Amino acid sequence: MRVTYKEIKSDILAKIVKGEWAPGDLVPNEVDLAQSYNCARATVNRAMRELSEDGIVERRRKAGTRVRSSPLRKARFDIPLVRDEVEEKGETYRYALTGSVVEIAPPWLRGQLQLPEAGKVLYLSCMHYADDTPYGHEARWISLTALPAAETADFTEIGPNEWLVATVPFSEVEINLSAGLADRVLADCLECSPGDPVFTIERATWWKGQAVTYVRFSYPPGHRLTTRY
């Protein structure tokens, strides 16, 4: 059979794992590798390019390809829709709107999103449940400057996330992961104690440079974001 780029990739990865090619070592160039694998250079190129994207090797023109001294510079995490996240675990998803108010954007939010002064926003407080146990709390702000339609939308049945996904085409995003503390309100929502640690994902979204929405999603104590290599 012909040699595939996947075979080359895993073969080279194996050599690195075994220590045959140590961190910092120079890897043979593409022409030589193609010859030794008896395949086209493009095939080797694809394998090496992916190893480079994975952070395993480092490539520079003329200087060649080297095994990275510190592997694993990049980790990829899935940031799924809550509904999918819950349903993929085989649990039943339930959503509830717990609060809704139109307000002038508070200063911290204006700063986060670069909103115009006195811009109005719709604030929504939502809960997500998996098998009727709290899965996470969503604090959502939607810019009514960018999306006036949000003011009249009905968020009692459909969560703001799903509504937005269906309404706004695509967007620029900034994601922040951090650790916070549950205050009394959040503790009530998540059925934990005030002062418990909550894992927080914040996401700011723009569309054509204009701020659309900001969301702070808080997971109950013990939640983990995981990835493997």
Partner DNA sequence: TAGTGGTCTAGACCACAGG
Partner DNA sequence: CTGTGGTCTAGACCACTAT
Torsion over CA: 164, 223, 126, 115 (sign): negative
CB of 103 vs a second copy, minimal distance in Å: 25
CB of 78 vs DNA, minimal distance in Å: 19
Among 2-10, 12-20, 89-97, 145-153, the segment contacting a second copy (CB under 8 A): 12-20
Q: With respect to DNA, which residue has the nearer C-beta, 51 or 126?
A: 51
Specify the amino acid at residue 26: L
11: part of which helix (H) or strand (E)? helix 5-18
Torsion over CA: 15, 21, 23, 29 (sign): negative
Distance CA 67, CA 52 (A): 9
Our finding on whether 30 is near DNA (CB under 7 A) is yes
Our finding on whether 215 is near DNA (CB under 7 A) is no
Torsion over CA of 173, 182, 87 and 215, rounded to 10 degrees? -20
CB of 29 vs DNA, minimal distance in Å: 3
Specify the amino acid at residue 159: G
User: What length does the chain have?
Assistant: 229
Distance CA 183, CA 197 (A): 10
Distance CA 92, CA 169 (A): 28
Our finding on whether 108 is near a second copy (CB under 8 A) is no
Binding-site size for a second copy (CB under 8 A) equals 55
Our finding on whether 176 is near a second copy (CB under 8 A) is yes
Please select the residue that binds a second copy; options are 1, 2, 19, 62, rule is CB under 8 A. Answer: 19
47: left (phi over 0), alpha (psi -120 to 50) or beta: alpha
Q: With respect to a second copy, which residue has the nearer C-beta, 24 or 99?
A: 24
**Token pair of 45 as six digits:** 């190129």
Among 1-9, 74-82, 87-95, 99-107, the segment contacting a second copy (CB under 8 A): 74-82
Site string for a second copy, 128-167 (x = CB under 8 A): -------------------------------------xx-
Residues that bind a second copy (CB under 8 A): 13, 16-19, 22-23, 56, 69-81, 84, 165-166, 169-181, 195-200, 207-208, 219, 221-229
Residues that bind DNA (CB under 7 A): 2-7, 27, 29-31, 38-43, 45-46, 48-49, 52, 59-65
